[in-house]
Amino acid sequence: MTTEKIDTQAINTIRTLSIDAVEKAHSGHPGAPMALAPVAYQLWQQELRYDPSHPIWPDRDRFILSNGHASMLLYSLLHLAGVKRVDREYDVTDAPAVSLEDIQKFRQLDSATPGHPEYRWTTGVETTTGPLGQGVANSVGMALASRWLAGHFNKPGFELFTHDVYAICGDGDMMEGVASEAASLAGHLQLPNLCWIYDSNHISIDGSTDLAFTEDVGRRFEAYGWRVLQVTDANDLDALGKAFRTFKEARGKPTLIVVNSFIGYGAPKKQGSASAHGEPLGAEELKGAKRNYGWPEDAQFLVPDGVRERFQERMGARGKQLREAWEKSFADYRKQHPELAHELERLLKRELPDGWDKELPVFPADAKGMATRESGGKVLNALAKNYPWLVGGSADLNPSTKTYLSASTSMKPGEHAGRNIHFGVREHAMGSIVNGLNLSKVRAYGATFLIFSDYERPAMRLSSLMEIPSIHIFTHDSIGLGEDGPTHQPVEQLASLRAIPGNIVLRPGDANEVTEAWRYIAKQQHHPVVLVLSRQPVPTLDRTKFAPAAGLSQGAYILKEAEGGKPDVILIGTGTEVSLVVEAAEKLQAEGVKARVVSMPSWELFEQQPAEYQERVLPASIKARVAVEKGAAFGWERWVGHTGSVVGMRSFGASAPIKALQQKFGFTVENVVKEAKATVAKSKTTQP
């Protein structure tokens, strides 16, 4: 069999595995894999720096299927390339990442082939995709990470990080705003190692993209500062190869390769139609497609002899050689640069550097205090001194979020070794780029106002789904920001973020709780954390009179016990409201009502504590409870019970000075005292 025939057969194997899997599952998207099989094959076989036997080799090229509905394209590639499975401890096993049986179980419960590619579920999936635009936006973070790692670790004679990032995307990706945001920033930064392959087939679920999408994408990307290449036929391997070589040789800016294809290529009646997009072909159309490929029409899940071997002799052999050369180079690097080698090994394992917390500040008691965004900036900069792979930035808000690393430089066009990233007013892309950096093991954060978490939320949800330790910092945490009014005053955002499974929300109550928040954040390996900080100052509590701020790690703790240890009422506060409930407790005490004060910076961490600890902090026998938070009251009933009370928001805010807002919405000592007394009275009347 000639080279041309085996390559054609390999491409058609990708196609037929894909359509067979979708047909058996009675669910899926066959059209894109049928169209893109030659594009992906040419990239994997001829260009990709990837060793299937060691799929987490640090300097591997990254491949992202941003149009994740075409997941069978990726699963077919992983199977045919013989990619090995990596376990939860990041050890490479002898088992395949995707077996033929896995392909036959496409979209079935607990299979390695879910409907959309999922990171940490299927080896070889570099990021979870499906929500369109997220994959390409992640790719910008991965490309930045590659460049940052090179700037930090590469030394003369040791090019440890040289890898490129490829993302296949479709018309849907190009319509999503997050892709535009990310592309704009990538063009500005002149990322030379980023290549998007745009499958331009002019078909969406509704029909032709002419219904809603008629722009010239190539010219748009040229305006962003990208190099734009055109391949007029997705089946032209020579033209594809030339485009990939141009990307590798020209450099200087990111590259967009526009590839024209026919969705459902080979299907007799459905080629080029919307019906090939999101549903099985059907038995007769499937047989017709196989006939057009020269395939046995009744064969199912057929992998002809020589196809797997073809992947091994090209991609496999090339990847093994590159990986072994890298490992040999790193062994020499370890001898010449032992400290950097040690850093890199820790980074790759998501471990902390030695002495990472030695300069974290302890703040003295101060009745005037400071905004937690101010203390947050101080703690972040202290942490960054001994945490060299902590990088990040804000969405054009450094003066407000206080998240600029003062001892480091910024990333600039063509210069990517700095630790400060200026994301511009691009919150959605910022969240996705932060995820891409964290997927590459660089510890990254992004910062903006809490109200704009609405723009960032899709990326935040995915960071939790992927179990990666992205850091999302938000300031201006409540109606307390005052005159900016309800457009900028977050109300429902805290409740929304607490609803994301696996997401840890921290709202510290003073400067020392901020230090403890960062102590907790730094240790995370698989959980994203949301850090919510204030614009207005709060007192720094005297910890000789109040419990240590280390209680933050337990989610909630008894900040101040009632006199005699038997409270009449429990007051629960978070963030800026902690000092408010402290004042209210003192007034209650003066009036003969014994109040316990509980600081509750994190519902999620408190939920993780043993039942005995939860009972100690919030005893079931004490029904009189008042929770105070300048956000939606929604959800607090879990902690205060039916007889408790919530001083929270049940409407949007208003534009006014903070003191007027606090008076209007009941965030005053007098109102908290009133609510506490009422709950005490109510609890007595409802006792059995």
**What's the CATH architecture for 5-323?**
3-Layer(aba) Sandwich (3.40)
Confidence label for 453 from pLDDT (cuts 50, 70 and 90): very high
Q: Is the per-residue pLDDT at 2 higher than 50?
A: no
CATH 3.40.50.970 in the chain: give the residue spans: 5-323, 366-539
Which has the closest alpha carbon to 28: 62, 64, 63, 67? Answer: 67
pTM, 2 dp? 0.97
% of the chain residues with pLDDT over 90: 96
Helix (H, G, I), strand (E, B) or coil at 442: coil
Q: Is the per-residue pLDDT at 637 higher than 80?
A: yes
- For the domain covering 366-539, report its CATH number: 3.40.50.970
% of the chain residues with pLDDT over 70: 99
Residue ranges at the known binding site for thiamine diphosphate: 69, 130-132, 172, 201, 277, 452
Q: Is the per-residue pLDDT at 595 higher than 60?
A: yes
Residue ranges at the known binding site for Mg(2+): 171, 201, 203
Report how far residue 533's alpha carbon sits from residue 514's, in angstroms, rounded to the nearest whole number. Answer: 9
Burial 347-381 (b: 16+ CB within 10 A, else e): beebebbeebbeebbebebeeebbbbbbbbbbbbb
Q: Measured on CA atoms in the order 222, 225, 230, 235, is the torsion positive or negative? A: negative
Report how far residue 578's alpha carbon sits from residue 569's, in angstroms, rounded to the nearest whole number. Answer: 15
Return mean pLDDT, the chain.
96
- For the residues 537-545, what does the mean pLDDT come to? 97
Helix/strand number for the chain, H first, E second: 25, 22
pLDDT at 3: 54
Q: Is the per-residue pLDDT at 31 higher than 60?
A: yes
Residue ranges at the known binding site for substrate: 29, 277, 373, 400, 476, 484, 488, 535
Q: Do residues 567 and 594 touch, judged by C-beta distance below 8 A?
A: yes
612-635 per-position pLDDT tens digit = 999 999 999 999 999 999 999 999
235-278 per-position pLDDT tens digit = 999 999 999 999 999 999 999 999 999 999 999 999 999 999 98
- 427: annotated active-site residue: yes
155-205 per-position pLDDT tens digit = 999 999 999 999 999 999 999 999 999 999 999 999 999 999 999 999 888
Q: Which helix (H) or strand (E) holds 649?
A: strand 645-649
* CA max distance for the chain: 94
- The single residue listed with the structure tokens 């040789």 is 249
Which has the closest alpha carbon to 426: 650, 137, 206, 221? Answer: 137
Class level of CATH domain 558-685: alpha beta
Q: Is the per-residue pLDDT at 67 higher than 70?
A: yes
200-210 per-position pLDDT tens digit = 999 888 989 99
Q: Do residues 472 and 529 touch, judged by C-beta distance below 8 A?
A: yes
- Residue of 126, 427, 604, 675 with catalytic role: 427
Pull the structure tokens for residue 357: 């917390």
Cross-strand pairs, 393 = 421, 446
Confidence label for 4 from pLDDT (cuts 50, 70 and 90): confident
pLDDT at 687: 61
pLDDT at 1: 36
Confidence label for 90 from pLDDT (cuts 50, 70 and 90): confident
388-429 per-position pLDDT tens digit = 999 999 999 999 999 999 999 999 999 999 999 999 999 999
Residue 651: left if φ>0, alpha if ψ -120 to 50, beta else—which one? beta
Confidence label for 684 from pLDDT (cuts 50, 70 and 90): confident
Residue ranges at the known binding site: 29, 69, 130-132, 171-172, 201, 203, 277, 373, 400, 452, 476, 484, 488, 535
